[in-house]
Structure 1
Amino acid sequence: MVKILLNGCGGKMGTAITNLSKNYDNISIVAGVDKSPKDSSSYPVFKSISEVNVDCDVILDFSRPDSLDEILNYSNTNSLPIVLCTTGYTNEQIDKINEFSKNHTVFRSANMSIGVNIVNNILKSVSTILYENYDIELIEKHHNQKVDAPSGTALLLADTIKNTISEKIDYIYGREGVSKKKHNEIGIHAIRGGSIVGEHDLIFAGEGETIEIKHTAQSRDVFAAGSLKACAFIYKKAAGLYDMNDVLGM
């Protein structure tokens, strides 16, 4: 049984993870962290991760970037692997995570959906072929409470395309005024509204035809399932930096 400490347990994703975890025999959430604990939780909830006194095997984080230092400190003190599902980290924070993973077990992914990560691997195969004759645009849609824009997933997908192309690629975040597209640009457009869970639409527009690769998350359960799978995967793994490709064997 893998015992999970869930940081950000009171949020929408934390609630989805808690509910879905009840369907697993090999996983149990034994404690949570949230700034506004709720008495109705099925496990003890602490206001700060530094206050947690429950024995656990893995830290699962679905919170905010500003909690990173506390998580790394708790992981280091208690020798616990971390699954980081939070997005919106600064470059400095990403460097800190990468450095930490040299001596600790860390899993980090911009998106925990199996489908998104399969799309990402498809892009590794087709982007170089399509780039010569197609313009590339990316549209992402999320609910109106999402903090970061563009989404971490949008940047993951855009970076995958960029890294497969030898020419220098520039990102254009939305357009206004006189803005004729250059071929080496990838337009990234963020839409926020209502309760949209998450949509990512990659458009390859050529002469006389358009190819679209789209992923739509219809429920937060797809991210919850991926995060729980990651916790089971990383338990007792050696120090290093892991992601969904390792979980999927891709």
Structure 2
Amino acid sequence: MSGGRDGRGASGERDGRAGPLRLAVTGAGGRMGREVIEAAADREGVAVAVAVNRTPIDPVSGVDVDPADRLGALLTAEEPDALVDFTGPESAVGYAETCADAGVPLVTGTTGFDDGGLDRLRAASGAIPVLKASNFARGVAALRRAVREAVAALPGYDVELTETHHNGKRDAPSGTAKSILDDVEDVRGDLDRRVHGREGDAPREADEIGVHARRAGDVTGEHEVLVAGNRETLELTHRAGDRGVFAEGAVDAAAWLADQDPGWYGFDDALDAGGADE
């Protein structure tokens, strides 16, 4: 990865933008790719400069879609401010490296990376700003903070997590569920064993977190954390009404990331900086 065009002046700061935020979108024919293009089309001051897909498709919301293997040339020619990716682990890593070569910041909501894929993403963040998040809903960010506070305030209580998604979702548990589980384990060092479902003689052990993944219908996404003990229960739940909330959050993240230095970022970084305001 050469680092390519980085859009920065001699001071190392990103050059100021004149005109709209110009985005590139991968996986334009997928559920989330379409949502991102539609969210950009509905927002004043945002334009989709590049859209690619692995297979030929018709324009999306008036945006022409090019073959994915042309992405590098398109990024060099169009110089978008950021690229938004919701594809698959293997393709997302390739797109990240293409962005690094072209100097284009990357926002990815792709989940299911193995350790090698994450290492390659982090390597790309040495050349460009990379923002990776398992979920771009502001409510999920609030849920994660509430979960951390709750489990810290209730030592010794049992924790169970249930997530529900549409019947076409491939990875289980969801990336968001894994992030919540990481949060719980960071706060509660005594909970370090994830038990996925239960069957037969399966008494609960003190060190476990129960994890349950459900796939049905067209459910956009639900995450519920149950904390129970001392004759009381606490339930924290987030439900997404449609995928548009994730696309809007990703566009917000891209607008913030376009002005950042190379490095590794999360959605909380954009939220804490006020980069996801209305």
Contact 2:191 2:209 in 1 (8 A): no
Residue aligning to 1:91: 115
* Alignment counterpart, residue 45 of structure 2, candidates 26, 33, 38: 26
Task: Choose 75-84 or 15-24, whichever is displaced more.
Answer: 15-24
Q: Structure 2, unaligned stretches of length 5 or more?
A: 1-19, 274-278
Give distance in 1, aligned partners of 2:126 and 2:147.
28
Deviation at 1:235, TM superposition (A): 0.6
CA deviation vs aligned residue, 1:179-213 (integer Å, no higher than 9, x gap) = 10112100110000100000000001223221100
Give distance in 1, aligned partners of 2:31 and 2:259.
28
Deviation at 1:120, TM superposition (A): 0.7
Task: Choose 211-220 or 89-98, whichever is displaced more.
Answer: 89-98
Give distance in 2, aligned partners of 1:97 and 1:66.
11
Residue aligning to 2:201: 178
Q: Within 5 A, what are the aligned runs for 1:137-152?
A: 137-152=160-175
TM-score, normalization: structure 2? 0.85
Deviation at 1:168, TM superposition (A): 5.0
Percent identity of equivalent pairs = 30
Task: Choose 35-44 or 16-25, whichever is displaced more.
Answer: 35-44
Q: Structure 1, unaligned stretches of length 5 or more?
A: none
Give distance in 2, aligned partners of 1:100 and 1:114.
26
What root-mean-square deviation, in Å, do the aligned CA atoms of Structure 1 and Structure 2 show? 1.5
* Alignment counterpart, residue 114 of structure 1, candidates 138, 148, 155: 138
Deviation at 1:169, TM superposition (A): 1.2
* Alignment counterpart, residue 59 of structure 2, candidates 35, 40, 47: 40
Residue aligning to 1:216: 239
Give distance in 2, aligned partners of 1:18 and 1:68.
17
Give distance in 1, aligned partners of 2:27 and 2:192.
36
Partner AA of 2:177 in structure 1: A
Residue aligning to 1:245: 268
Contact 2:54 2:69 in 1 (8 A): no
Give distance in 1, aligned partners of 2:148 and 2:168.
31
Residue aligning to 1:10: 29
Residue aligning to 1:233: 256
* Alignment counterpart, residue 219 of structure 2, candidates 196, 200, 223: 196
TM-score, normalization: structure 1? 0.94
Give distance in 1, aligned partners of 2:101 and 2:126.
16
Contact 2:196 2:210 in 1 (8 A): yes
Aligned length: 249
Give distance in 2, aligned partners of 1:201 and 1:167.
21
Deviation at 1:49, TM superposition (A): 4.5
Task: Choose 111-120 or 22-31, whichever is displaced more.
Answer: 22-31
CA deviation vs aligned residue, 1:88-125 (integer Å, no higher than 9, x gap) = 11122112222322332100001111100111112222
Q: Within 5 A, what are the aligned runs for 1:43-58?
A: 43-51=63-71, 52-53=73-74, 54-55=77-78, 56-58=80-82
Runs of 4+ in structure 1 displaced over 6 angstroms?
Answer: none
Contact 2:100 2:124 in 1 (8 A): no
Deviation at 1:137, TM superposition (A): 0.3
Task: Choose 22-31 or 146-155, whichever is displaced more.
Answer: 22-31
Give distance in 2, aligned partners of 1:36 and 1:110.
25
CA deviation vs aligned residue, 1:8-60 (integer Å, no higher than 9, x gap) = 11111112222221221221112211122322332231221444525122111
Contact 1:83 1:230 in 2 (8 A): yes
